Amino acid sequence: MRSFSIRSLLVLCALLSASVLRAQSGALLLRPDRVFDGTDLHEGWAVLVRDSLIVAAGPASSIAAAGARVVELPGTTLMPGMIEGHSHLLLHPYNETPWDDQVLREPQALRVARATNHARATLMAGFTTTRDLGSEGAGYADVGLKLAIQQGIIPGPRVLAAGPAIVTTGSYGPRVLAPEFPSPRGAQEADGDELVRVVREQIGGGADWVKLYADYRWGATDTSATTFTLQELRTAVEVAASAGRPVAAHASTPEGMRRSALAGVTTIEHGDAGTPEVFRLMRERGVALCPTLAAGHAVSQYRGWRPGQPEPPRIVRKRASFRAALDAGVTIVFGGDVGVFAHGDNAREFELMVEYGMRPLDALRSATSVNARVFNLRDRGEIRPGLLADLVAVTGDPTRTISATRAVRMVMLNGAIVRQD
Ligand SMILES: [Zn+2]
């Protein structure tokens, strides 16, 4: 009797696991109102997914989907899973805890525990990939998070990690101690020949991208000033490239941006004081701008400004430089510097891109096909057969009303529905 029960149980388990396997390997037909494929909008399209891949996309009547489970998504636009271009999963908003205190006083285990929430919030907001540009004092914790997500231990987006990031000696914070004391830093210092070793060390530690600070607020009056020489930047790019790693350069001064562009970085982050001349250089050199509009917008609010009030000089300048970048035809990648503001609120960057002069369709292209191309992710960022089934459905039409990107109805990662409202 007892052995029979166990055998029954085993049979039941086998049946259950078989049905789970069937469900996993069965095809799914997604039927939204329309599809944004990463480039254009198509009314009445449907998308067929099998296992982890998109196998068909086109007019609903043209897709042979016999036997597929149908997922009705009325009222929605189905898009490629969005790609956040500039996050810090190890940071939380500065109005909760100032950056210095996060770096100096929060134990790394606390930061990682919080970052697991950030990773989940990112994925649930429809961002299925994130380029995480520096752990800000948390070493290689971003690489660890990436592994935890890959191994299914925690939910989250696919992560491109940068590790600790690299700054010149003396330029980066926190700057809270007298210079007589060795000070902890939010990134790893390296100069001259040492830079070669540190770029290699970070790649060896798991960095998918090398993040450098080409300027920082260490100028004479706490303004931004250049850090690495052009030669140092060239060397870092060459060393990174020989290991197949692209470089992202933080730069907001024209000279920091100019050096970065001449050195051959792939993206320039922020670009706040960019001039028409430097944006033309970026366009000529094929260097993309990650404008991080939302970060400055958030920091201005932490300092007391409220939207609707006259804009502080920082925002006025940012609007003008973003406009100049658009006019120069610079490739714009989507990236908000999320972490400065709340993870999961990534769509804030979309709203500002449009408010500052970009067409909604172009902002959506940035966060999908453009980011995928610039980040060399050929398996995602578009809806077409053979690409990864990383998808998001939002209520409404974001090509008309960009804030529809907030109205997430369904998220699919690697062919599995991870959110459905
Ligand atoms: Zn950043």
Distance from Cα 76 to the centre of ligand 1, integer Å:
32
Q: Give the span between the Cα atoms of 131 and 352, in whole angstroms.
A: 20
What distance in angstroms lies between residue 312's CA and the mean position of ligand 1's atoms?
21
Mean pLDDT within 77-92: 99
**What mean pLDDT comes out for the span 5-9?**
47
Token representation of residue 52: 């982890």
| SS3 (DSSP) at 52 | coil
**What is the number of other CB atoms lying within 10 angstroms of the CB of residue 200?**
17
Task: Please give the Cα distance from 287 to 232 (Å, whole number).
Answer: 18
Residue 100 CB contacts under 8 Å (≥ 6 apart), including other chains: 173, 174, 176
Residue range 191-211: average pLDDT? 98
pLDDT band at residue 25 using 50, 70 and 90 as cut-offs: low
Question: Which domains can be identified in the chain, with CATH numbers?
Answer: 27-80+383-420 (2.30.40.10), 82-346 (3.20.20.140)
- In sequence order, the 6+-apart residues with CB closer than 8 A to the CB of 202 are 162, 163, 164, 165, 166, 188, 210
Separation CA 237–CA 264 (nearest Å) = 7
> Given pLDDT bands bounded at 50, 70 and 90, which one contains residue 218?
very high
Alpha carbon distances (Å) from 401 to 182, 306, 333, 382? 51, 23, 20, 20
**Cis amide bond preceding 254, omega within 30:** no
- Residue 86 CA to ligand 1 center (angstroms) comes to 6
Residues that place a CB less than 5 A from ion ligand 1: 337
CA of 337 to the centre of ligand 1 (A): 5
What's the burial of 51, exposed, middle or buried (CB within 10 Å: 0-12/13-18/19+)? middle
Assigned token pair, 363: 């902002």
CA-CA-CA-CA torsion sign (406, 398, 341, 202): positive
Distance 91 CA to ligand 1 centre (A): 10
pTM listed for this prediction: 0.93
Phi-psi region of 283 (alpha: psi -120 to 50; beta: other; left: phi over 0): alpha
Query: What is the Å distance from ligand 1's center to 88 Cα?
Result: 6
Going from the Cα of 152 to the center of ligand 1, the distance in angstroms, rounded, reads 26
Ligand 1 centre and the CA of 133: distance in Å? 6
Q: Distance between CA 294 and CA 314 in Å, rounded?
A: 12
pLDDT digits (tens, 9 = 90+) for 259-273: 999 999 999 999 999
| CA 340 to ligand 1 center in whole angstroms | 8
Residue 414's nearest CA partner among 128, 144, 143 is 128
Radius of gyration of the chain (CA): 23
Contact 379, 90 (CB under 8 A): no
Q: Residue 85 Cα, ligand 1 centroid: separation in angstroms?
A: 10
Reported as a single tens digit per residue, the pLDDT across 144-178 is 999 999 999 999 999 999 999 999 999 999 999 99
CA of 364 to the centre of ligand 1 (A): 21
Ligand 1 centroid vs 59 CA: distance in angstroms? 40
Interval between CA 203 and ligand 1 midpoint (Å): 19
**Alpha carbon of 132 to ligand 1 centroid (Å):** 8
Please give the torsion angle defined by the CA atoms of residues 314, 320, 323 and 324, in that order, rounded to the nearest 10 degrees: -110
Q: Which helix (H) or strand (E) holds 102?
A: helix 99-105
Does the pLDDT value for residue 24 go beyond 90? Answer: no
Q: How far does residue 172's CA lie from ligand 1's centre (Å)?
A: 13
Per-residue CA distances from 218 to 164, 173, 241 (Å): 20, 9, 28
Name the average pLDDT for the chain: 94
List the one residue out of 406, 356, 327 whose CA is nearest residue 79: 406
Q: Does the pLDDT of residue 13 top 50, yes or no?
A: no
Cα of 276 from ligand 1 centre, angstroms: 23
Q: Cα of 183 to ligand 1 centre, how many Å?
A: 21
Cα 315 to middle of ligand 1, angstroms: 17
Give the Å distance between the CA of 346 and the centre of ligand 1: 13
Helix, strand or coil for residue 338?
Answer: strand
Residue with tokens 């990939």: 129
Strand partners, 290: 269
Alpha carbon of 271 to ligand 1 centroid (Å): 12
